[in-house]
C-alpha cells in the first residue's frame, strides 16, 4: 500500500469516468473527492448521462494542491481528506502497541480496503440490559480518508451484533493521528475505560420506569431508509417489513404514504426502540465490507435525540403486531430468511 500525489491537470475524463496514469477513479472514490472539493455530485451524474467532463474541468480550475490517493496493487483504495494525514502501517502499529503497553490488552484486527481497525475486548463484568448481555470494546481505526478514529464499542453476545457508542465524550477523530506516548495514551485510555456504557444504553433505550421505550413508525421507516442506502437491494425490506404496520393502520383509515413525518412519529410501530435498532445492527452484517462511515450512520440512531418521539400524544385504536419469532430473527437471535 502506498500514497500517490497527483494533480488533476494530468487527469482524463471519458463517459463520466475520471482516470490518471491508467488508474480508474471509481464512483465511490469520486464521490468522496467531490465532497472534499465542495463540488456537487449532481455534476458528476450529468457527466455520466451526457458523456461530458464538467466535473474534471471544475476540479482542474479549483484544485489548490495535488490530490493524495491510497493505492494498493495499482488499485485506488481511497482519497485522503486534505485536512487529514493518512497513517502508514508502521505509524498505526506504533499507536496500537502504545495502547497494549498501557494495559488495553491484546488487539484483534479487521481490515477493509485502506482502513484498519484494532479493537480490544475490555476485561470487565459484561453489561446486562434487562437480560440482554453486552461486552465493551475499545476501538482504534486507521481511517481510509486519513486520521485516527477512537471510540468505545459494544458487542451484543446473543448475536454478535456490534455498535459504536454515539457519545462525543469518547468518540474522537484525530485528523493527524496521535503521538504514541504515555502522556497521550494513558489519559485517553482512562477516559475510554471509565465510560459507563450501561448507564448510556439505559438512558437511550429505557424510560423513567425502567421499561423499554416504544418506537414510532417514523423511526422505524427512517432506520429502513438508512439501511437501504448502505446495503444491497432487498436487505432493508427483509429486516424492516412494513406489512404489519400497513395492515393495522389501513383498517383505521390511515394512508401511511400520505402522512407527514410529524404524524408518523406519533404512531406506535408496535416494537420497542431497542428492537428496531437491533434490527439495524444485525442487518449491517449482511454487507461483508461495511465501513466506519456505515457504522457511524447507523450509530446515530443510538442517540437521545433520535430516540425521542411523540407517540404519547396520540392513542390509535390499535397498534401493529409483530410475531415474536420474527422479532427474534430480525435481531439475530434466530436465523432470518432473506
> Can you tell me the mean pLDDT for 91-109?
96
pLDDT at 15 over 90: no
b/e per residue, 73-89, with b = 16+ CB within 10 A? eeebbbbbbeebbbbee
| Range list of β-strands (E), 226-281 | 268-272
Q: Grid coordinates representing 6? A: 497527483
Percentage of the chain modeled with pLDDT above 70: 96
Q: What is the pLDDT of residue 13?
A: 86
* Phi (first) and psi of residue 119, to 5 degrees: -130, 145
pLDDT at 160 over 70: no
Condensed to tens digits (0 to 9), the pLDDT of residues 44-85 reads 889 888 888 888 999 998 887 899 999 999 899 999 999 999
The pairing of strands 148-156 and 172-174 is: antiparallel
Q: What is the pLDDT of residue 335?
A: 56
pLDDT at 314 over 70: no
pLDDT at 158 over 70: no
- The mean pLDDT of the chain is 90
3-state secondary structure of 165: coil
pTM of the complete model: 0.85
Evaluated on CA atoms 241, 244, 250, 256, the torsion sign reads negative
pLDDT at 129 over 80: no
Condensed to tens digits (0 to 9), the pLDDT of residues 166-208 reads 888 889 999 999 999 999 999 999 999 999 988 999 999 998 8
Q: What is the pLDDT of residue 87?
A: 97
> Can you tell me the mean pLDDT for 329-335?
79
Enumerate the domain spans of the chain.
2-79, 89-195, 214-331
Residue among 319, 332, 200 nearest 249 (CA): 319
Q: How confident is the model at residue 316 (pLDDT cuts 50, 70, 90)?
A: low
Q: What is the pLDDT of residue 125?
A: 78
Condensed to tens digits (0 to 9), the pLDDT of residues 277-293 reads 999 999 998 887 888 88
Q: What is the pLDDT of residue 155?
A: 82
Q: How confident is the model at residue 152 (pLDDT cuts 50, 70, 90)?
A: very high
User: Which positions ≥6 away from 131 have C-beta within 8 Å?
Assistant: none
Condensed to tens digits (0 to 9), the pLDDT of residues 230-259 reads 998 899 999 999 999 999 999 988 898 899
Grid cell 418506537 is found at 215
* Phi (first) and psi of residue 11, to 5 degrees: -90, 165
CA angle 325, 327, 331 (to 5 degrees): 120
Q: What is the pLDDT of residue 20?
A: 92
DSSP code per residue over 76-136: EEEE--TTS-PPPHHHHHHHHHHHHHTT----EEEEETTEEEEEEE--SPPEEETTEEEEE
Rounded to whole angstroms, the Cα distance separating 62 from 105 reads 47
Q: What is the pLDDT of residue 123?
A: 80
> Can you tell me the mean pLDDT for 20-44?
90
Amino acid at each position: 500500500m502506498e500514497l500517490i500525489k497527483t494533480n488533476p491537470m494530468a487527469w482524463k475524463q471519458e463517459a463520466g469516468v475520471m482516470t490518471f496514469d491508467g488508474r480508474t477513479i471509481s464512483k465511490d472514490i469520486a464521490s468522496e473527492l467531490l465532497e472534499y472539493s465542495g463540488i456537487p455530485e449532481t455534476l458528476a451524474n450529468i457527466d455520466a448521462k451526457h458523456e461530458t467532463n464538467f466535473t474534471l474541468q471544475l476540479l482542474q480550475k479549483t484544485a489548490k494542491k495535488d490530490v493524495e490517493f491510497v493505492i494498493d496493487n495499482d488499485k485506488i483504495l481511497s482519497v485522503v481528506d486534505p485536512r487529514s494525514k493518512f497513517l502508514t502501517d508502521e505509524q498505526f502499529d506504533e499507536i496500537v502497541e502504545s495502547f497494549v503497553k498501557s494495559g488495553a490488552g491484546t488487539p484483534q484486527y479487521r481490515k477493509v480496503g485502506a482502513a484498519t481497525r484494532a479493537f480490544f475486548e475490555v476485561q470487565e463484568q459484561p453489561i446486562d440490559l434487562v437480560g440482554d448481555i453486552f461486552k465493551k470494546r475499545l476501538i482504534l481505526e486507521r481511517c481510509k480518508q486519513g486520521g485516527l478514529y477512537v471510540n468505545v464499542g459494544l458487542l451484543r453476545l446473543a448475536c454478535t451484533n456490534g455498535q459504536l457508542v454515539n457519545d462525543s465524550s469518547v468518540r474522537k477523530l484525530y485528523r493527524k493521528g496521535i503521538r504514541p506516548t504515555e502522556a497521550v495514551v494513558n489519559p485517553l485510555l482512562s477516559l475510554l475505560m471509565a465510560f459507563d456504557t450501561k448507564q448510556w444504553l439505559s438512558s437511550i433505550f429505557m424510560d423513567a420506569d425502567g421499561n423499554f421505550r416504544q418506537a414510532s413508525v417514523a423511526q422505524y421507516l427512517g432506520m429502513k431508509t438508512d439501511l437501504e442506502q448502505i446495503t444491497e437491494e432487498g436487505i432493508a425490506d427483509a429486516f424492516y417489513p412494513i406489512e404489519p404496520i400497513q395492515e393495522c393502520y389501513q383498517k383505521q383509515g390511515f394512508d401511511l404514504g400520505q402522512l407527514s413525518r410529524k404524524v408518523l412519529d406519533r404512531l406506535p410501530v408496535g416494537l420497542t426502540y431497542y428492537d428496531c435498532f437491533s434490527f439495524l445492527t444485525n442487518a449491517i452484517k449482511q454487507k461483508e465490507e461495511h465501513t466506519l462511515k456505515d457504522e457511524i450512520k447507523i450509530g446515530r440512531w443510538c442517540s437521545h435525540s433520535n430516540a425521542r418521539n411523540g407517540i404519547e400524544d396520540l392513542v390509535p385504536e390499535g397498534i401493529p403486531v409483530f410475531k415474536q419469532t420474527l422479532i427474534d430473527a430480525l435481531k439475530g437471535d434466530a436465523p432470518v430468511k432473506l
